[in-house]
Amino acid sequence: MPYLQAFVKELLQKHPLTYFSLTHASVEAMKLDVPPDANLELFLPTIAEDERLWLKSLEFNPERFISSGEMTDITGLAGIRMILFGAGRRICPSLAMGTTHISLMVAWMVQAFEWRLHPAEPKLDFQDTVEWTVVMKRYSREG
């Protein structure tokens, strides 16, 4: 079960549900010159790809979330390294339910299906593109 949970965290870090965090009001000046009433939008992939926060950030590595690896907190209480469901007081109340449902869906799919690439298909491209939400740039079977 710990590896499945680590896999889901890594999956959500590499492919967040949205590119931007919700708008937040700036309440105090940080190290940036931000007007007091400005709204801030955070581009989430820049956090996930930051080499100062994650070792080998572009590599898919669920082991980084196992307790002996990198910090596993996704709530933002121990420092903001992932903002999957918001952070702090405004964190989504469905964080536990959402990650549990994703874990169950992944576990059921792994149990129910035999996974392999179709021999005629090119290697899967996991790049995404911005539309209303985040979607794959190219689906494996178009049509």
Residues 6+ apart with CB under 8 A from 128: 15, 134, 135, 136, 137
Annotated binding site for heme: 92
43-52 per-position pLDDT tens digit: 878 888 888 8
Of residues 139 and 118, more confidently modeled: 118
Q: Which of 106, 113, 115 is nearest to 3 (CA)?
A: 106
Number of neighbours of residue 54 by Cβ within 10 angstroms: 19
| Residue 143 pLDDT | 47
For 16, counting Cβ atoms within 10 Å of its Cβ (0-12 exposed, 13-18 middle, 19+ buried), the class is buried
Which amino acids are annotated as binding site, given as ranges? 92
Domain positions in the chain are 2-113
Q: What pLDDT does 107 receive?
A: 94
Burial of residue 39 (number of CB atoms within 10 Å: 0-12, 13-18, 19+): exposed
Count CB atoms within 10 A of the CB of residue 99: 17
Nearest 10 degrees: Cα torsion 17, 7, 81, 48: -60
Query: Residue 124 in contact with residue 11, Cβ under 8 Å?
Result: no
Categorize the per-residue pLDDT at 25 as very low, low, confident or very high, splitting at 50, 70 and 90.
low
Q: What is the pTM of this model?
A: 0.70
CA 19-40-79 angle, to 5 degrees, is 75
Nearest Cα to Cα of residue 18 among 116, 130, 140: 130
At how many degrees (to 10) do helices 95-112 and 2-14 cross? 110
Reported as a single tens digit per residue, the pLDDT across 99-112 is 899 999 999 999 99
